[in-house]
């Protein structure tokens, strides 16, 4: 089935020692009017992953709860993303399907349901975070229009990042189960940023032609993506794709690979912030 992940940036409040636990979760998702089979499968996967984190690490959902729209196999569905909070106490670092099946209606008037059983690896961390180290993320706009296959005609995104301490900055865009690293890049080398507000891309590079432009796959008209900034007190390890053969683009890190990368950075040496971005094709 198509891997459709909630934006499970399941970031622990504390870190040093990490422990990983495998848990098996079963979830049944009803087929409702207006939903495709892929929509239902995606919703079941999102719910099962969230339940796995709750069982193993617990989740302290805060004011960053929000209703978003997520993309599933080129279609858009509504869901409640309850695990977007950076206060979650664990993160999904691996998962695999154990069983899946469609269930006939149990009685007249009840819908067909999709039953999914998955095994999920959840990594929980212990230790103490640095309460004085955090990062603020702002953007030029949270709603971006895609007007053409020529990206120069699409809306531009400018991020404003403010760390409370001098830090290295990684800016990434999470779309479905893929993570696209925007910075550092070939023109913006990894370097320590001062504890002050900075724009990404910086004004001088934008004047030279470097821009972050909105884009969507050809078969997708709208979706919500997550912009993520990770500030680290030390130079972070490289974030690269492991080449999962089940994914369509094996050169782009998956969300679980992104979570494993975060696991390697102690929580007291990092800070994280996220913002949802709504992308819509204008016809």
Q: Write down the pTM of the prediction.
A: 0.70
Residue 64 has pLDDT above 70, yes or no: no
The count of residues in the chain is 283
Arithmetic mean of pLDDT, 31-59: 78
Q: Of 68-77, 104-113, 184-193, 196-205, which one has max mean pLDDT?
A: 196-205
Q: What are phi and psi of 223, to 5 degrees?
A: -170, 165
CA angle 151, 145, 210 (to 5 degrees): 40
Beta-bridge partner residues of 121:
22, 94
Contact 209, 152 (CB under 8 A): no
DSSP reduced 3-state for 256: helix
Q: What is the pLDDT of residue 58?
A: 65
Contact 167, 231 (CB under 8 A): yes
Residue 85 has pLDDT above 50, yes or no: no
How far is it, in rounded angstroms, from Cα 214 to Cα 254?
20
Lowest mean pLDDT among 54-63, 231-240, 259-268: 54-63
Instruction: At 176, list the tokens.
Output: 């479905």
Q: Chain-wide mean pLDDT for the chain?
A: 78
How far is it, in rounded angstroms, from Cα 245 to Cα 170?
26
Band of pLDDT at residue 68, cut at 50, 70 and 90:
very low
Nearest Cα residue to 111 out of 172, 208, 37: 37
Nearest Cα residue to 179 out of 57, 56, 274, 66: 274
Q: Of 16-20, 121-125, 186-190, 218-222, which one has max mean pLDDT?
A: 186-190
Q: What is the pLDDT of residue 89?
A: 63
Residue 198 has pLDDT above 80, yes or no: yes
Q: Which residue has the higher pLDDT, 62 or 94?
A: 94
Please give the domain boundaries of the chain with CATH numbers for all domains: 17-126 (no CATH), 135-281 (2.60.40.2550)
How far is it, in rounded angstroms, from Cα 225 to Cα 141?
13
Element (H, E) at 169: strand 167-175
Arithmetic mean of pLDDT, 116-143: 87
Q: What is the pLDDT of residue 243?
A: 54
**DSSP-derived secondary structure letter, 218:** T
Q: Which residue has the higher pLDDT, 250 or 107?
A: 107
pLDDT digits (tens, 9 = 90+) for 231-257: 999 999 888 776 554 555 567 888 778
């Amino acid at each position: 089935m198509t891997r459709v992940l909630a934006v499970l940036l399941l970031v622990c409040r504390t870190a040093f020692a990490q422990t990983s636990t495998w848990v098996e979760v079963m979830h049944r998702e009803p087929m409702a009017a207006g939903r495709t089979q892929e929509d239902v499968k995606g919703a079941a996967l999102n719910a099962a992953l969230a339940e796995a984190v709750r069982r193993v690490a617990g989740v302290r959902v805060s004011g960053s709860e929000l209703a978003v729209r997520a993309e599933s196999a080129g279609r858009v569905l509504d869901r409640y993303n309850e695990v977007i909070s950076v206060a979650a106490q664990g993160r999904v670092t691996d998962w695999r399907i154990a069983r899946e099946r469609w269930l006939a209606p149990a009685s007249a008037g009840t819908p067909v349901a999709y039953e999914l059983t998955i095994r999920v690896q959840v990594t929980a961390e212990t230790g103490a975070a640095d309460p004085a180290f955090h990062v603020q993320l702002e953007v030029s706009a949270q709603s971006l229009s895609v007007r053409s296959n020529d990206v120069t005609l699409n809306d531009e995104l400018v991020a404003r990042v403010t760390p409370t301490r001098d830090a290295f900055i990684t800016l990434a865009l999470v779309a479905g189960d893929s993570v696209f690293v925007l910075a550092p890049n070939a023109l913006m080398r990894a370097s320590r940023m001062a504890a002050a507000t900075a724009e990404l891309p910086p004004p001088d590079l934008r004047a030279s032609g470097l821009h972050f432009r909105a884009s969507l796959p050809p078969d997708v008209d709208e979706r919500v993506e997550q912009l993520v900034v990770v500030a680290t007190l030390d130079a972070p390890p490289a974030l690269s794709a492991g080449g999962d053969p089940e994914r369509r683009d094996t050169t782009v890190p998956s969300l679980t690979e992104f979570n494993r990368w975060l696991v390697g950075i102690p929580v007291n040496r990092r800070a994280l912030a996220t913002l949802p971005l709504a992308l819509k094709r204008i016809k």
